Amino acid sequence: MKSRKMFGAVSLVVVGILFGALLVSGFGLVRPSMADINLGASAPPVNLDADATSFSKAFIEVAEKVTPAIVQISVVSKTSNNPHGDFFFFPFFKDLPEAQKGSGSGIIISEDGYIVTNNHVVENATSVEVGLYDKRRLSAKVIGTDPLTDLAVIKIDADNLPTAYLGDSDNLKVGQWVMAIGNPLSLSSTVTAGIVSAIGRGKLGLIRDSYGVENFIQTDAAINPGNSGGALVDLSGAVIGVNSAIAASRTGTYIGYGFAIPINLAKSVAKDLIAHGKVSRGYIGINIGEIDYAMAKSLGLDRPRGIIIQGIVEGGAASKEDIKEGDVILKADGKEINQPNELQSYIASKSAGTKVNLTLFRDGKEIERSVTLKARDEDGNAAPVVETGDDEDESESSSTASATFDALGLTVRNMTSEDKSLYKVDSGVLITDVESFSKAFDQNLGRGIVIVEADRKKVKNVNELKQIFNSKKGSAVLLKVQDREGNHRFVGIEIPE
């Protein structure tokens, strides 16, 4: 009997031990306390060094310091178009209402309430409301707009506002880290980061005016609808651009890169708008073009540099000075110029009446000339000067009537009296055919264009053009060409041996 009791007691102990083991074995019969739960590894896999920690801290500090100076702008607009114009076009609405609501961003540039934004954000606005970082919402007045740069200034009635520091966009470098701060897609106070992908971007067609200034900073920091008018800042917190547009896409949203207006241009425009309500911009009064390798060779330049003056605007500032068609502008006030939009952007920051010093390349020499900028409305109809002369008309029967230059892919013929009257020229040869992907094709020459000069000499007929081409074999020839509307430009074309 005693042994049976002993056996029973031992059995109970064994069962207790087994049952206890089951409870703690993870079958879920008993849950551990919060204090006993350990998730993940015990330490991060990488220990950040001081440089990496400092780099991350720079983004954090910039976001904290700059974001309060960025506002959200809500606009009611009386336009039949999208409030964002051609920048963000939504094709889903065929019959848009007379009044629409849009939104964008802005940068506070003064403690008493001046804010810079994009023109396309507030264009045709009937009412503008600004949302501040501290949640206040205030009505705003449009002080002035400048469609040619897509900039505008608005004002709210407030004091002691946080202001952004406006930096120097001339010192930007490709590859530099930047941050875009704004209110995209109605998401307030959004920060994205990337690098400067390119500078001096033009020919984008974002400003549809022949006088429009396109000299954008390109960045891969995400910019979406609503970011327009927000800040592009460097890692010191300096605003170096005003976010303006995204690359066109089917969705109207970010596809890898966006564009910002350089802050140096924005500062000069904002000052004019605040002081006068409009921009009193000066103009040189010239038509300009880019210089490629063939043109540089034909002009006698050591390499493609500068920009060529394609035409002089009648009555413009340049027409009063010793500045000629075919001159190459190398510098403006000592600043090197290598793209047409670089000169446009620089001149756009100057007021009418300002004197600008130009370094020109002419006939193999560098010369200095100065020009006093005039206001745009003083330039008349801005028609380029078309030179005509008293050279004796030479009948097409007196020389070869037509010729094909196979190496150039170019066919020309002599002009009839009717042709000359139509084009308003006294001499030249008419292009009748251009072979696809030929040298002539690559220089945008085409049927119906007149070659009026070659190697800075007037061309009367096909034979004269032949002689000039033959004398330049292995080199390049500068051509002056004109279309039916009277627009003319210079073209450089290489002549094979």
Predicted confidence at residue 326, as pLDDT, reads 93
Cα–Cα distance measured from residue 258 to residue 260, given in angstroms and rounded to the nearest whole number: 7
- Is pLDDT above 60 for 477? yes
Strand residues in 24-156 grouped as ranges (E): 70-78, 99-108, 114-117, 125-131, 137-146, 151-156
Q: Which residues, 6+ apart, have CB-to-CB distance to 124 below 8 Å?
A: 77, 78, 79
Q: Could you say which of 105, 120, 169, 488 is catalytic?
A: 120
**Residue 176 CB: number of other CB atoms within 10 A?**
15
Kind of pairing, strands 450-454 and 231-234?
Answer: unpaired
Determine the Cα–Cα distance for residues 469 and 339; give it in Å rounded to an integer: 28
- Calculate ∠ Cα 262-84-77, nearest 5°: 125
Residue 331 Cα distances to 97, 195, 361, 456, angstroms? 49, 28, 10, 23
Point out the catalytic residue in the list 150, 234, 327, 455: 150
Comparing CA positions, the residue from 315, 297, 313 lying closest to residue 305 is 297
- The segment(s) of the chain belonging to CATH 2.30.42.10 are 282-379, 396-494
Q: Up-side HSE of residue 454: CA atoms within 13 Å toward CB? A: 24
pLDDT at 87: 42
Residue 397 is which amino acid? S
Would the pLDDT of 79 be above 70?
A: no
pLDDT at residue 32 above 70? no
Alpha helices (runs of H) in 126-254, residue ranges in sequence order: none
- Residue 228 annotated as catalytic: yes
pTM score, two decimals?
A: 0.74
- List where CATH 2.40.10.10 sits in the chain: 165-276
Confidence at residue 383, expressed as pLDDT on a 0 to 100 scale: 36
Tell whether the model's pLDDT for residue 462 goes beyond 60: yes
Q: Cα–Cα distances in Å, from 404 out to 23, 431, 434, 454, 493?
A: 98, 10, 9, 16, 15
Q: Which of 74, 228, 298, 427 is catalytic?
A: 228
pLDDT number for residue 223: 86
Q: Model confidence at 174, in pLDDT bands (50, 70, 90)?
A: very high
Per-residue pLDDT reduced to its tens digit, 110-138? 999 999 999 999 998 999 999 999 999 99
The secondary structure of residue 9, as a DSSP letter, is H
CATH topology for the 68-156 domain: Thrombin, subunit H (2.40.10)
Please indicate whether residue 150 is annotated as part of the active site.
Answer: yes
Share in percent of the chain as helix, strand, coil (round to 5): 25, 35, 45
Q: Which fold has domain 165-276?
A: Thrombin, subunit H (2.40.10)
Q: What is the pLDDT of residues 395-424, one digit of tens each?
A: 444 456 889 999 999 999 999 988 998 999
**Helical ranges in 100-187 per DSSP H:** 119-122
Confidence at residue 28, expressed as pLDDT on a 0 to 100 scale: 53
Average pLDDT over all residues of the chain: 84
Say which CATH topology domain 282-379 has.
Pdz3 Domain (2.30.42)
Q: What confidence score (pLDDT) does residue 2 get?
A: 56
Every domain range in the chain assigned CATH 2.40.10.120: 68-156
**Higher pLDDT pick, 378 / 485:** 485
Residue range 396-494 forms a domain whose CATH class is mainly beta
| pLDDT beyond 70 at 20 | no
Listed in sequence order, the residues at least 6 apart from 482 whose beta carbon sits closer than 8 Å to its beta carbon are: 386, 423, 425, 428, 449, 450, 452, 488
